[in-house]
Structure 1
Amino acid sequence: MANPANTDQMPEVFTTEAPEASTEIDAGAGKHVEPELWGLAPFQVVSVSMFVLLVLAIFGAKVHKTIAGGLDSKIAAIKEQLEEAKQLRAEAEVLRKEYADKIAGAEKDAEAMLENAQVEADAILEKAEADSKAMVERRKRMAEDKIAAAEREAVEDVRNRAVAAATGASRKLIAEKHDAEADKALADKLIAGI
């Protein structure tokens, strides 16, 4: 073990002085050159890396929280949309059922209206048939009455003509065969019979 009092024998890693960029170290067997990255010594590269890592850890956590918050809000929005879609679907199902019931009711109403219309049409047809039969009967009676009246008129006319012809013929006969004396005798006979 090395003596802490002897600082000459301490390794160079613990020194606070930064070695120069291309410092050569004599290790006895050969010369060794310290590695460099962008002109920085290894402990400086480690320090810068730790600083970058800490900065990323600090701001990365904020970014992570921002990203997580954004994703959480997106998830919440999607859940809300799904709930809204479920509600809309439930409302649509209710409306579909309501309209299906209305359609079924309308079909029943249409069938009832059709049956009523058929019954009314049959009733109207029966009434029209009855009315037409009654009208035919009435017209037939009127025609028969007209025919009977015409027959009566014709018979009356024939009688009147026959009476007129008989009266004319009897006058002529009476005028030819009856004279004033026969009239006087006939009138006396009639007066005596009274």
Structure 2
Amino acid sequence: MANLPLLLVADGPSALGVDSYQWVSIAMLVLIGVFVWKKVPGLITGGLDNKIAEIKSQLDEAKDLRAEAEKLRDEYAAKIAGAAKDAEAMMEGAQREADAILEKAQADSEAMVARRKRMTEDKIAAAERDAVAGVRAAAVDAASIASRSLIADKHGADADKALADEVISSL
């Protein structure tokens, strides 16, 4: 067996003098021809073009949505900034109003203290007048009682007659 010539043996059956690998090549050429005849590459490229157009429209829509979202974000950022300014203005207004109320309350309390001081001074003055009047009345009563007793002790009928004559002559 060592001296036997090498014979090429085909791997598979052959028909019409064509080996199996050649039949596969012929079948592939026929299949490619049918694909070209039925315009399959055009259908594939058309489908791919449609898919590309659909993806492009989705990208355009996404760009539009992004632009709209950015516009809304900027709008709301402006609104927030405006609201912050409004809140700051409100706080300043409230502070001014509180200061004005405080100043008015302070002025009102000073006026009330001054009024009450005047009322108290008036009451003290009235009490002093009443006290002075009471002291005067008591002094007058005491003087009249003292003068009565002095006159009664020192004056007699002769002194009364001389005093009456003197008063009449001065008239």
TM-score by structure 1 length? 0.61
Equivalent in the alignment of 1:58: 34
In the other structure, the counterpart of 1:43 is: 18
Query: Following superposition of structure 1 onto structure 2, how do residues 159-170 of structure 1 map, counting pairs within 5 Å?
Result: 159-170=136-147
Helix, strand or coil: the match of 2:18? helix
Bigger mean CA offset, 63-72 vs 84-93: 63-72
- Pairs aligned (count): 161
Identity over the aligned pairs, expressed in percent? 57
How far did residue 149 of structure 1 move? Answer: 0.9
- Indicate how the Cα distance of structure 1 residues 182 and 82 shifts in structure 2: closer, same or farther if over 3 A, else same: farther
- The structure showing larger relative contact order (alpha-carbon pairs under 8 Å, at least 6 residues apart) is 1
Q: CA 1:113–1:34 in structure 2 vs 1: closer, same or farther (change >3 Å)?
A: closer
**1:56-107 C-alpha deviation (Å, 9 max, x unpaired):** 6536867756654554444333223211211111111211221222233223
Rounded to whole Å, the distance in 2 between the matches of 1:48 and 1:117 is 94
Give TM-score scaled by structure 2 length: 0.67
Q: Which protein shows a greater Rg?
A: 1
Q: Secondary structure at the match of 1:43?
A: coil
Give unpaired runs (5+ residues) of structure 2.
Answer: 1-6
1:81 and 2:58 equivalent?
yes
Distance in 1 (CA, whole Å) between partners of 2:145 and 2:50 is: 134
Deviations for 1:24-82, whole angstroms, at most 9, x for unmatched residues?
Answer: xxxxxxxxx99655333233745675345424653686775665455444433322321
**Matches of 1:186 and 1:124 in 2, distance apart?**
80
